[in-house]
Amino acid sequence: MDKVTTIYVESSTIGLKDILTLVALVLGPLLAVWWTLRHEDHKQKRAAKERLFLTLMAHRKSNPPAADWANSLNLGPRLIKSTIR
């Protein structure tokens, strides 16, 4: 004798939980990429400021002033202005 299997399907209504899950699936990766890019940009700007500071400090007592020191002085205002926004 064959057994008959009956499968009942619930109604296909979309609830708030389903909508929030879809939003999280879409926004989660996008926010993660945005945060990573923002963090890398901040890290690069900080590293540039640190290099500027180290260059200025390394050549502070040289006489005549070194070319690196003069270039760092010229770069300083641009670097600081770009991070103040």
C-alpha 76/C-alpha 38 separation (Å) is 22
Nearest to 69 by CA among 48, 51, 44: 51
Q: So what's the pLDDT on residue 71? A: 80
Q: Which of 41-52 are b and which e, b meaning 16 or more Cβ less than 10 Å from the residue's Cβ?
A: eeeeeeeeeeeb
Entry pTM:
0.59
Domain boundaries, the chain: 16-84
For 26-64, write each residue's pLDDT tens digit: 999 999 999 999 999 999 989 988 888 888 888 777 788
DSSP conformation class of 65: P
